[in-house]
A and B are shown apart, each in its own frame.
Chain A
Amino acid sequence: MIRGLWTPDTVGWLLVAAGLPAAVALWFDQGVDGVLRLVLCLAVVAAWQILFRVNLGVAPAPASAITALAVAVVAPIEVQLWQIALAVSFGAVIGELIFGGWGRNFLSPGVVALAFLSLSMPNAAFVASGANVAWAVLPGALVMLLTGILPVSVLAAYGAALGLASMALGLEITLLAASGTLAFAAVFLVADPVAAAATPVGRWVQGALAGALTVLLMTGTSVPQAAVFAVLLAGLFAPLVDQGAIAAHLARRRARNGRA
């Protein structure tokens, strides 16, 4: 009869609110150009949302603004605006809207857009963002952790795996220089409540996988690209990891409770 506060829309608006400081940091780091790119990305996402709403009845979701923010923050600076628009379109449509809108997608649409950009523009150099973005991401992340929107386990596993793997490979310095990108990726892409694994064990595995893969891929490419592909791969594996975790859980229950 009574309803809790956390409807999908509330969660979505909170995600957007948590992303606002990162948008301000973008303005600090990249000036008006960065803001213009964000506005362009938002406009493209909004256009696709309206199109899908009108033609297919897919509910628009506030959280889709995160797709735009992700591309604006992580994408390389020298990419043409039409290329960005194309990447955002791909992310919004293929990553989210064709599944019936935010909440039914299985990959973070921001990751899909960035992966598209990175694959189709192999020459564009991704530049990692530094401490400004990291600090900007922090308050929103804390609020979302306290309200239980961000899965703590994913973040913890991602952080631990990043730390351990980089120490093993001696890449701590590179990692610190890219703290902004990594923090943004951790909060908005890896720990996306919709796309993250859905079981407690699955979340630890998925977070750790994303962290370890990021460091591994960093040895061959720039940090943002490594982060994007690591998150993409971990996200693709998330359903499989979940299936494993569920099977293990059910097997444990059967072993404990077995037919008397």
Chain B
Amino acid sequence: MTHHFRRGLDIVIGGAPAQSVMPGNAVENVAVFGGDHRDMRTEVLVAEGDGVARGDPVFRDRKRPEVVIVAPAAGRVETIEIGPKRRLSVLRIRREGAAARELTPPTVPTRDSIAELVQRCGLWPSLIVRPFGRIPTPGTAPNAIFVTAMETDPLAADARVVVAARRSYFQVGLRALRLLSDGPVFVCQGPGPALAETEGKFRIERFAGAHPAGLPGTHIDRLHPHERGGTVWQIHAQDVIALGSVMTEGVLPETRIVALGGPGLNNPRLVEAPEGASLDDLVRDELRGGQMRVISGSPLSGREASHLRRGHHQVSVLPRSQPRLPGRRWWPRHAAALRPAPVVPTLALGRALGPDLPVVPLIRALSVGDVETADRLGCRALLEEDLALATYAAGGSKDFGALLRQALDTLEEQP
């Protein structure tokens, strides 16, 4: 079925990547970040100087030891930095060799055996539960699983190209996911030929329209609105492909397909790179002149980073605007007074949200910290990425995603 998404904004940024996978730089360094897994109490399983194979666990959750994060590439652990509250801040690996930890896929796939495999191969944290956007608790099952096989973020890779390269893995991965869900598995893709063959519980759903038509929040609101209760899991197509690779080969794929885009690049294109790849390595000798900022993720929801962060499959290189020198001009200094800027509703803001919720009242509630109203208006249907476009449309004076996270944290603590 095709869903036409009528809101949304077309955001045009120069340097859209050529949609074919081309050779890229060799990536020497990879890293995993504790900050990408905020709901894990990290327990590091390796020491500095240890050799690790691709797929070896490097840290796990203290409370749920089944939930592990694995090394994205083989090599030597270079540094481990521990942050506040003894949480892992970053673990850097210098690549050496191509050793990979092999797992034996279950001969008789059942929910428990597949769940165990997904946990052991380190893909469990790629599943995100809504509401609240956490890693699923092992032993639970969702009411539906949403596979995001489309991208509408500016400068992203076309999911069609990504899946076409590894289509058989995708199909196998989907077959495995089906066992994890109590309900249907929705494969959400753009218009055009189906990316997978429908079997049993999967359903192909096509979404057409401007960004955020491709965000899982938009899909979930159409197909499993939050009023229905229960939980849904979302997972990115590239993680499904990785699961398919584990199911067939027993090892995680060496690389993901990453889009390099933005006006700051000489040759924007798709490349293969391991998860957590160093952005310095990825864009080395590719930048145009001038000051650039290298962003892991989309220009809307990404962040400036040293390495590709978890769940990000694109690198955006944008020119860095010159910071205004404070005190030089009278007006900006006074306009940026003590309070954050107010929210002025414009047409763009009204069209910025994927789920069909009252946008302006919701954003006003979030920006004054009125959690109760935000909840009544349906903020449980959202995650940070769903508000990135609204933040953009309102001029970026406030990060609505961060405000939403505060509201969700409060709601989650309440009984």
Contact with B along A98-115 (1 / 0, CB 8 A): 001111100000000000
Whether the Cβ atoms of A8 and B341 lie closer than 8 Å is yes
Whether the Cβ atoms of B342 and A104 lie closer than 8 Å is yes
Whether the Cβ atoms of B344 and A200 lie closer than 8 Å is no
| Cα distance, A245 to B359, chains bound together (Å) | 12
| Cα distance, A166 to B293, chains bound together (Å) | 58
> Which residues of chain A are within 8 angstroms of B337 by Cβ–Cβ distance?
53, 57-60
Known: A59-B336, A100-B339. A2 touches B13 (CB 8 A): yes
Whether the Cβ atoms of A242 and B361 lie closer than 8 Å is yes
Whether the Cβ atoms of A59 and B304 lie closer than 8 Å is no
By CB atoms of chain B within 10 A, which of A4, A57, A101, A196 has the most? A4
Known: A1-B304, A2-B299, A59-B337. A149 touches B346 (CB 8 A): yes
Known: A103-B342, A148-B346, A257-B227. A8 touches B395 (CB 8 A): yes
CB distance from A57 to the nearest CB of B (A): 3
Whether the Cβ atoms of B229 and A259 lie closer than 8 Å is yes
B97 on interface, CB distance cutoff 8 Å: no
A5 on interface, CB distance cutoff 8 Å: yes
Known: A53-B334, A58-B337, A259-B229. A11 touches B346 (CB 8 A): yes
How many A-B Cβ pairs are below 8 Å? 128
Interface residues in A205-251 by Cβ distance below 8 A to B read 242, 245-246, 249-250
> Which residues of chain B are within 8 angstroms of A148 by Cβ–Cβ distance?
346-348
Whether the Cβ atoms of B341 and A3 lie closer than 8 Å is no
By CB atoms of chain B within 10 A, which of A8, A100, A101, A104 has the most? A8
Known: A1-B302, A57-B339, A100-B339. A249 touches B358 (CB 8 A): yes
Contact with B along A1-45 (1 / 0, CB 8 A): 111111111110000000000000000000000000000000000
Contact with A along B394-414 (1 / 0, CB 8 A): 111100000000000000000
> Which residues of chain A are within 8 angstroms of B336 by Cβ–Cβ distance?
59
| Cα distance, A103 to B304, chains bound together (Å) | 30
B303 on interface, CB distance cutoff 8 Å: yes
Whether the Cβ atoms of A103 and B341 lie closer than 8 Å is yes
Chain A residue with the shortest CB-CB distance to B336: A59
Known: A11-B346, A59-B336, A194-B344. A259 touches B227 (CB 8 A): yes
Known: A2-B396, A3-B396. A8 touches B228 (CB 8 A): no
Whether the Cβ atoms of B318 and A253 lie closer than 8 Å is no
CB distance from A172 to the nearest CB of B (A): 31
Whether the Cβ atoms of B338 and A57 lie closer than 8 Å is yes
| Cα distance, A5 to B348, chains bound together (Å) | 10
Q: What is the number of residues of chain A that contact chain B, defined by CB distance less than 8 Å?
A: 45
B300 on interface, CB distance cutoff 8 Å: yes
> Which residues of chain B are within 8 angstroms of A9 by Cβ–Cβ distance?
335, 341
| Cα distance, A196 to B360, chains bound together (Å) | 11
Interchain CB contact (< 8 A) of A7 among B13, B338, B378, B397:
B397
| Cα distance, A7 to B335, chains bound together (Å) | 12
| Cα distance, A196 to B347, chains bound together (Å) | 13
Interface residues in B191-248 by Cβ distance below 8 A to A read 225, 227-229
B377 on interface, CB distance cutoff 8 Å: yes
B392 on interface, CB distance cutoff 8 Å: yes
B295 on interface, CB distance cutoff 8 Å: yes
CB distance from B355 to the nearest CB of A (A): 10
Known: A4-B396, A242-B361. A149 touches B347 (CB 8 A): yes
B376 on interface, CB distance cutoff 8 Å: yes
| Cα distance, A1 to B153, chains bound together (Å) | 13
| Cα distance, A198 to B346, chains bound together (Å) | 10
Chain A residue with the shortest CB-CB distance to B227: A257
> Which residues of chain A are within 8 angstroms of B225 by Cβ–Cβ distance?
253, 256-257
| Cα distance, A54 to B88, chains bound together (Å) | 44
Whether the Cβ atoms of B339 and A58 lie closer than 8 Å is yes
B160 on interface, CB distance cutoff 8 Å: no
A122 on interface, CB distance cutoff 8 Å: no
Chain A residue with the shortest CB-CB distance to B376: A250
Interchain CB contact (< 8 A) of B341 among A59, A151, A242, A258:
A59
> Which residues of chain A are within 8 angstroms of B377 by Cβ–Cβ distance?
246, 250
| Cα distance, A254 to B336, chains bound together (Å) | 41
Known: A1-B318, A4-B394, A258-B227. A59 touches B334 (CB 8 A): yes
Whether the Cβ atoms of B395 and A10 lie closer than 8 Å is yes
Interface residues in B348-371 by Cβ distance below 8 A to A read 348-350, 356, 358, 360-361, 364
| Cα distance, A151 to B346, chains bound together (Å) | 7
B21 on interface, CB distance cutoff 8 Å: no
> Which residues of chain A are within 8 angstroms of B90 by Cβ–Cβ distance?
none
**What are 25 A-B contacts with C-beta separation under 8 Å?**
A1-B316, A2-B299, A2-B396, A3-B395, A6-B349, A6-B394, A6-B395, A7-B341, A7-B394, A7-B395, A8-B397, A58-B337, A59-B335, A100-B339, A103-B342, A147-B347, A148-B348, A149-B346, A193-B346, A198-B360, A245-B358, A246-B358, A246-B377, A250-B377, A260-B228
Additional A-B contact list (7), CB under 8 Å, known A1-B318, A6-B349, A196-B345: A2-B318, A4-B395, A6-B346, A104-B342, A152-B347, A250-B377, A257-B225
Q: Which 9 A-B pairs have the closest CB atoms?
A: A103-B342, A148-B347, A3-B396, A7-B395, A57-B338, A59-B337, A198-B360, A257-B225, A257-B227
Binding site for B on A (CB under 8 A): 1-11, 53, 57-61, 100-104, 147-149, 151-152, 193-194, 196, 198-200, 242, 245-246, 249-250, 253-254, 256-260
